[in-house]
Amino acid sequence: MPGWVVRSAAREFDDDMSTTTVIVGTGPVSFADVLAVTRDGAAVTLGDDALAAIDRARAVVEELAAAPTPAYGISTGFGALATRHIPTEMRAQLQKSLVRSHAAGSGPEVEREVTRGLMLLRLSTPATGHTGVRRETAELPASFLTHGITPVVHEYGSLGCSGDLAPLSHCALALMGEGSVRDASGTLMPAAEALAAAGLTPVELVAKEGLALINGTDGMLGMLVMAIADLRMLLRTADIAAAMSVEGQLGTDRVFAPELRAIRPHPGRALSAANLMSLMADSAIVASHRTGDCNRVQGRLLVALFAPGARRCPRHGGVCRRGGRA
């Protein structure tokens, strides 16, 4: 199966980790929230609305666990064992075994930012109040993120649309005090040691919790958010480079004019062209082409030579902006 792309070694956070705190509520986290946690080391806490929703959902799970009617993943096994009744005294062990059996990733270690995004987005699901985990189980991943504790997750192990099972299981394993993690300085150590150093207690999983912690596609989503953020930065940089090239060749911005964009009104292209004109709005070189002193023949010759490249910048940048909604 294809693995996750590893761009570079896991980076360390500065000793003065971000003082920003992302509050995870019942609603979705934003792009800015994901980037603050993954790349700026922001702390994470659960909002009061999320805590209330978590408590309500757990009460429902407790009712199902006590009922004589089988409930999948609570009083039954998983997959082919969905019809197998699990005795009450074995249900906690079932959740632990589920996590341990799926924590089987392989290959290089993925970047810290990838794992932090994975943990944040997984946390946002229990926060909606639809998974049935206990409050203390949901709060521990937030504490990991706040203390800069990052479970070791490997490149291979995601099942694509069927879920990031192995990556999420490695994170859940660390919450249990098992497996390996990196602390805020990037030092590799056993999860139990990192928990103890941070004053945290490993979670003892109960019915439904193992399933809730590992069933999702949060790793892929986190990487997509960061890829889109990188694309947006790349497109802005490309526009700046294009504007500098126009200036460097003593060119004009007329090839980006609104009336020309209106002929082919593609939204991404128009946005790119407008950004280029904005970047050159205060350019003395561009302004010189609008005065009577400008040598029109020379200017037109220069534009003719340069335009085949310059006028295509919004076209290429526009396609990328349209595809990435950047």
Question: Phi, psi (5° rounding) for residue 132?
Answer: 90, 15
Instruction: Indicate the range of 38-42, 45-49, 106-110, 295-299 predicted with least confidence.
Output: 295-299
Identify residue 118 by its one-letter amino acid code.
L
Q: Per the structure block, which two tokens stand in for 312?
A: 């295509």
Per-residue pLDDT tens for 222-256?
Answer: 999 999 999 989 888 888 888 888 877 777 777 78
Q: What is the mean pLDDT of residues 280-303?
A: 64
Per-residue pLDDT tens for 112-134?
Answer: 999 999 999 999 999 999 999 99
Q: What is the DSSP string of 20-48?
A: -EEEE-SSPPPHHHHHHHHHH--EEEE-H
Helix (H) or strand (E) holding 154: strand 154-156
- 5 versus 86: the higher-pLDDT residue is 86
Instruction: Indicate the range of 214-218, 224-228, 259-263, 317-321 predicted with least confidence.
Output: 317-321
User: Is 14 a residue whose pLDDT tops 70?
Assistant: no
Per-residue pLDDT tens for 122-179?
Answer: 999 999 999 999 999 999 999 999 999 999 999 998 887 778 999 999 999 999 999 9
Predicted local confidence at residue 293, as pLDDT:
61
- 318 versus 233: the higher-pLDDT residue is 233
Per-residue pLDDT tens for 268-289?
Answer: 778 888 888 888 888 777 777 7
- Give the chain's domains with CATH numbers: 21-216 (1.10.275.10), 231-324 (no CATH)
Q: Point out the catalytic residue in the list 23, 62, 72, 204.
A: 72
The DSSP symbol for 312 reads T
Catalytic status, residue 156: no
- 1 versus 303: the higher-pLDDT residue is 303
Pseudo-torsion of CA 151, 153, 159, 160, nearest 10°?
A: 90
Q: Per the structure block, which two tokens stand in for 304?
A: 């003719």
Predicted local confidence at residue 301, as pLDDT:
47
pTM score: 0.83
